[in-house]
Structure 1
Amino acid sequence: MPATPRSTVTVATAGTLVAMLSYTAPLGVLPTIARDVAAGPSAQSWILSASSLGLTTGLLTAGALGDDHGRRRVFVAGALVLAVGQLLGAVAPSPGLVVAGRVVQGLGSAALIACSLALISHVVPAGPERVRASGLWGAGLAGGIGVGPLLGTVMPWRLAYGVVGVAALFVALVTPRLAPESRADVARRPDVPGIVTLAGGLALLCAGLTELRTGVGALPLALLVIGLVLLAAFAAVEHRVAEPMMPLALFRSPALVAATVGALGTGLGIIAVISYLSTLAQRGLGLDPLQATLALTAWPVVSVVTSLLTRHLPERLSGAVRLVGGLVVVAAGMLLLTGLDPSTTSAHLVLATAVAGLGTGVVNATLGREAVASVPPALAGVGSGINNTSRYLGAAVGVTLVSVLTSRTGTERPAQLIANWDRAVLVAVALTVVCLLVVAVAESRSRRTARRQVTDDAPIAG
């Protein structure tokens, strides 16, 4: 079967869906996993966060490698690495190996997500078709987030790991026949100092955030400080080297700034809130794991629908305008998750998460398009990597804030847990609003620049 634009979009979307299945599968069954492998509170935090560490560390590097050495090649390699990570987690007898498997899964997922958008941008031209393809990609992202937690509740969690691993292996096997290879016309030399400082900085930052969830101490603070120092070193390296993996000049584009901050806002806000909501539903509202998971499925289901429908939005609406509108709706949905009490029903959670899903679908589809449209075609993988790194770094920070603000000791009574949750959600809403305001400012700057260009290009009368 020859590769076509449709088959490429299909396999890229499937890879993203599988990556999200892996990312979210443990969310609804963490207590069961912890019981089976004797994981304490600290190990449980690492089980939840290890995939984010792998994702955040690997996204930008995988995108740059794809641009220079073949996006399909890196995409397939990521699927194979994800399959290995799933197998490791499925047979892990101890929490340490479960965590190791999650890190490997995150690294594999990073290659899938970063290169998926680059594969699409290579075969689908900008315009209505790209909008439609980005909507499908966003639907795959939301679908994986929705189905993942259900897998662990409807079948043993080790079997769920195996199912996702088989799906990743299938993606690796069919991709060479369904998607063409693509790369930049001129390959850059490997930016080894950039790769090392970025990966080290992000890994230590995520590790520090994870340790911070179990209490403030010397170790998490040291990890955070060293991580920030390495990220500063990365910025200095990218400024000085002749062929940086992430040219800092890209951020002169208001469109890239808007897309990057919009992605950051989804991580700091709705992803962080949804990641903890299942725990709150069980510990604070008394729902069982399946009830809690089903109550949250409205968010991804509605997100899938709205992602697919974004192609009907008027073309005159810029990416930044769509992001601002979507984030406003997301913030409204999160506000509906405040004021809960032990008598709150699952129907209330469904309503709130459905409202958030309306905005999330628009945001996901828009980010999928803007991530690659706001950078030169030769750097499509880098653009995707920047965008998704922002999303999952934001999620790492956001989940830490929500976890610490909601449950500092892990022994709170339901009423206290719910009261703490209100404060955590309001912080997440505030961070989302800050991000959407930055996106709005970037849009205003972009419009002013466009008006100046029109004025400069206009012929002089007389």
Structure 2
Amino acid sequence: MASRTGAVLVASGGATLLALFVFTAPLSIVPAVAGGLGAGAVATSWILSSMSLGLAVALLPAGAVGDDFGRRRVFVAGALVTAVGSVLCAVAPGPLTFIGGRVVEGLGSAALIACGLAVLGPAFPDAAGRARATGLWGACLGAGIAIGPLAGAALNHDWRVLYVVITVLSLGVAVLGWVLLEESVSARARTVDLPGALLLGGGLAALLAALTEGRQGWTSPLELTLVAAAVVLLAAFFAHQNSAGGGMLDLALFRRPALVSATAGAFVAGAGVTALMAFLGTMLENGLAVSPLTAALVVLGWSATSVVSALLTRRLPATLSGGARLSAGFVVVAAGLVPLAFVTPASAPAALLPGLVVAGFGTGVVNASLGREAVASVPPHRAGMGSGINNTSRYVGAALGVTVVSVLAVHGTPTPATLTAGWNTAVLVGIAVSLLGAAAIAALTVRAKRATAAVTRAAVEHIRPLGNGS
């Protein structure tokens, strides 16, 4: 049994590490990629955002389809799709093909993340085992974020080689999943909610496209059309799910406070610290005039600390609820971000490290706690859906957060002074988002405890008369 659970951990952790590696690797080499492809300002924005589009569109459908048709099957398919997207990026003659490849990578990585987390539920049914497993999952998430920018910076001279490496790694993960995982499905009849998938995919695609195009301005006809399309399609999706009884998204699950807390926490993590860290490399290179490798090493202070912190989270008392862990984690993140809000062009990169380490510690707690809550807050047969909900919320939040950070940090023709000043403002917004998230999750946790206590008292009062009469 130990070897079985170990195999699941290897496959799940490896897939999560790969997906985040693919997501973050280009962040440190955007100028080289854009220059090599002849990309303009709009195309460069899409180079940054295109994989987020694929992730956000496919995470929830991939989790739901994995529940119904086999998590291992969808996991392996996701690795193969990621490999196809990476080949497109490696051979791209221009920005359009590269952006398409990044979207395909996002689609494949969505299946890896959703099903890679979902397989932990059946393999670790006990709370203690699940805490250890999701702690490792959170550490692999942080490790992918840490390794990606370093690998990108190391291959800055020939970025196409990076995508050849990703192709090989993706094929390796496909083999790993096929060999190590056992098939697991939900007990319900197999169904495909094609209308729901199309409405959700179209709505999220329009939303993320609006956020990306919005960096150039918010009043163009294209921008207004995308916003309107997102509102209409997403409203239609929720109406369809309500009438269809939860084909793609079971709305009844949101009656569970733990799922609401986890979903809110994932959004806050994406919109706050993740968005800031995605932009930090750009700020360091253009605002403080450091090399891509130096920028990646500075960001490593945050991401590497989150790996260690996620592994240590399993040592927290079992009595500490998921909501309490999330709230505490976000408070620590906010505290770590404070020193990052006072950057000038003359700042030394090393001066940011203490704050990044503190923020990384809080991020690791958040990542591990979100992984645990994503599978523990839904019934076992909905593990893929729970994972999809959680991670969709994270990447939609990240897309929104990156847009806000970009708008705040970049004004007209940026200079080191305006870029660092805008970054400082963006950090203050990130601190506020983290603290508001901590407060909201704490309020949900208190409400859930009161509801549980009320149910327990009612049960005791119902049983007491029966006991007196016996």
Q: Could you tell me which residue of structure 2 aligns to residue 166 of structure 1?
A: 168
Q: Which amino acid aligns with 1:210?
A: T
Q: Could you tell me which residue of structure 2 aligns to residue 144 of structure 1?
A: 144
Say whether the 8 Å CA contact 1:322–1:366 is kept in structure 2. yes
Q: Could you tell me which residue of structure 2 aligns to residue 372 of structure 1?
A: 375
Tell me the CA shift for residue 91 of structure 1. 1.1
* 2:38 maps to 1:38: yes
Q: Which amino acid aligns with 1:44?
A: T
Say whether the 8 Å CA contact 1:375–1:383 is kept in structure 2. yes
Tell me the CA shift for residue 174 of structure 1. 2.1
CA distance in 1, matches of 2:178, 2:326: 34
CA distance in 2, matches of 1:187, 1:367: 29
Q: Which amino acid aligns with 1:251?
A: F
CA distance in 2, matches of 1:379, 1:251: 13
Q: Could you tell me which residue of structure 2 aligns to residue 132 of structure 1?
A: 132
Q: Could you tell me which residue of structure 2 aligns to residue 266 of structure 1?
A: 269
Q: Could you tell me which residue of structure 2 aligns to residue 460 of structure 1?
A: 464
Q: Could you tell me which residue of structure 2 aligns to residue 442 of structure 1?
A: 444
CA distance in 2, matches of 1:434, 1:220: 29
CA distance in 1, matches of 2:187, 2:244: 20
* 2:317 maps to 1:314: yes
* 2:312 maps to 1:302: no
Identity across matched positions, percent: 50
Q: Could you tell me which residue of structure 1 aligns to residue 47 of structure 2?
A: 47
Report SS of the residue matched to 1:213: helix
Q: Could you tell me which residue of structure 2 aligns to residue 414 of structure 1?
A: 416
1:16-415 equivalences in 2 (<5 Å): 16-155=16-155, 156-216=158-218, 217-409=220-412, 411-415=413-417
Number of aligned residue pairs: give it.
Answer: 461
Say whether the 8 Å CA contact 1:297–1:350 is kept in structure 2. no
Q: Could you tell me which residue of structure 1 aligns to residue 4 of structure 2?
A: 4
Say whether the 8 Å CA contact 2:69–2:190 is kept in structure 1. no
CA distance in 2, matches of 1:22, 1:432: 26
CA distance in 1, matches of 2:263, 2:293: 34
Worse overlay, 392-401 or 4-13? 4-13
Report SS of the residue matched to 2:394: helix
CA distance in 1, matches of 2:2, 2:387: 26
Which segments of 5 or more consecutive residues in structure 2 lack a partner in the other structure?
none
CA distance in 1, matches of 2:228, 2:352: 38
Worse overlay, 39-48 or 188-197? 188-197
Report SS of the residue matched to 1:341: coil
Report SS of the residue matched to 2:119: helix
CA distance in 1, matches of 2:265, 2:176: 33
CA deviations on 1:45-72 (whole Å, 9 max, x unpaired) are 0000000000000000000000000000
CA deviations on 1:357-379 (whole Å, 9 max, x unpaired) are 00000000011110011011111
CA deviations on 1:81-117 (whole Å, 9 max, x unpaired) are 0011111101111011110010000000000000011
Worse overlay, 435-444 or 64-73? 435-444
Report SS of the residue matched to 1:375: coil
Change (3 A) 1:243 1:262: closer
Q: TM-score, normalised by structure 2?
A: 0.96
Tell me the CA shift for residue 402 of structure 1. 0.3
Say whether the 8 Å CA contact 2:215–2:407 is kept in structure 1. yes
Worse overlay, 243-252 or 21-30? 243-252
Say whether the 8 Å CA contact 1:215–1:408 is kept in structure 2. no
Say whether the 8 Å CA contact 1:55–1:106 is kept in structure 2. yes
Tell me the CA shift for residue 173 of structure 1. 1.1
CA distance in 2, matches of 1:268, 1:192: 29
Say whether the 8 Å CA contact 2:411–2:418 is kept in structure 1. no
Say whether the 8 Å CA contact 1:2–1:178 is kept in structure 2. no
CA distance in 1, matches of 2:147, 2:253: 35
CA distance in 2, matches of 1:154, 1:425: 28
Q: Which amino acid aligns with 1:65?
A: V
Which segments of 5 or more consecutive residues in structure 1 lack a partner in the other structure?
none
Tell me the CA shift for residue 120 of structure 1. 1.1
Say whether the 8 Å CA contact 1:69–1:187 is kept in structure 2. no
Q: Which amino acid aligns with 2:250?
A: P
Tell me the CA shift for residue 428 of structure 1. 1.8
CA distance in 2, matches of 1:153, 1:31: 11
Q: Which amino acid aligns with 1:108?
A: G
Tell me the CA shift for residue 2 of structure 1. 11
CA distance in 1, matches of 2:375, 2:120: 9
From 416, 425, 436, give the equivalent of 1:423: 425
Q: Which amino acid aligns with 2:14?
A: A
Change (3 A) 1:243 1:406: closer
Say whether the 8 Å CA contact 1:20–1:141 is kept in structure 2. yes
CA distance in 2, matches of 1:451, 1:181: 38
CA distance in 1, matches of 2:338, 2:224: 31
Say whether the 8 Å CA contact 1:189–1:243 is kept in structure 2. no
Report SS of the residue matched to 2:290: coil
CA distance in 2, matches of 1:87, 1:74: 20
CA distance in 2, matches of 1:222, 1:270: 30
Say whether the 8 Å CA contact 1:3–1:177 is kept in structure 2. no
CA deviations on 1:430-456 (whole Å, 9 max, x unpaired) are 122222222111101110111011101
CA distance in 2, matches of 1:408, 1:83: 37
CA deviations on 1:164-191 (whole Å, 9 max, x unpaired) are 2211100101212211110001234211
Q: TM-score, normalised by structure 1?
A: 0.98
CA distance in 1, matches of 2:66, 2:401: 29
Q: Which amino acid aligns with 1:460?
A: R
Worse overlay, 109-118 or 435-444? 435-444
